[in-house]
Amino acid sequence: MEKRFNIFFLSNMMAEKGVWVLIDACKLLEQQNFNFECHCVGKWSDITEDSFNQYVLTKGLRGKVFAHGAKYGDDKNVFWKKADIFVFPTFYHNECFPLVLLEAMQQGVACIASDEGGISDMIENDVTGFVVEKRNAKALADKIAYLMEHPDICRRMGEAGKEKFEREFTLSRFENNMLDVLNRCL
């Protein structure tokens, strides 16, 4: 049996974090007969476990799209290890610099996220992943499909993201940048 492509979402289970957009994108992928599974991990919020499961059922995605609730530490790392891509289609009005994208890059997982807050400064479009228009399930599905059809590019994007994380976002890099700023102020 062919391995299913693993799509991973990690955030609070909120409409503004793009959960419904992701499920709609999954429906488009399912209609094109892509072999995938989508795992959503996060604390229930304005999306409840019941409303999530009902939406998945309504879309005919039972057995393809799953919610696991909040996970931490090793329980969360299990999902990172299985992820082929990380998807974050947020349109949350207070989104700034989502740490979950840094976590994905640190894990070496290619990212697809919406153009919100500082995301386009984090993800190098076509290098470490893709930045898509907010609330656009078709654009999201198209980019996921592209990476499913090009696993070598998906893997390279994940590697490029990990390199970018090591180069720009480690704690030591942050400390050095802060020292540089403070020294310039003196």
Instruction: Give the pLDDT confidence score for residue 178 in this predicted structure.
Output: 78
Q: If you average pLDDT over residues 21-45, what whole number do you get?
A: 98
pLDDT > 70? residue 1: no
The confidence band for 186, taking pLDDT boundaries of 50, 70 and 90, is: confident
> Residue 183: helix, strand or coil by DSSP?
helix
Range of the domain at 146: 5-185
The confidence band for 30, taking pLDDT boundaries of 50, 70 and 90, is: very high
The confidence band for 117, taking pLDDT boundaries of 50, 70 and 90, is: very high
- What is the domain count for the chain? 1
Instruction: Give the pLDDT confidence score for residue 175 in this predicted structure.
Output: 80
Average pLDDT, the chain: 95
In the chain, % of residues over pLDDT 90? 89
CATH number where 111 lies? 3.40.50.2000
Burial class (CB in 10 A: 0-12, 13-18, 19+), 19: buried
Burial class (CB in 10 A: 0-12, 13-18, 19+), 129: buried
Tell me the backbone φ, ψ of residue 65, rounded to 5 degrees. -120, 125
Instruction: Give the pLDDT confidence score for residue 60 in this predicted structure.
Output: 98
pLDDT per residue as tens digits for the range 130-170: 999 999 999 999 999 999 999 999 999 999 999 999 999 88
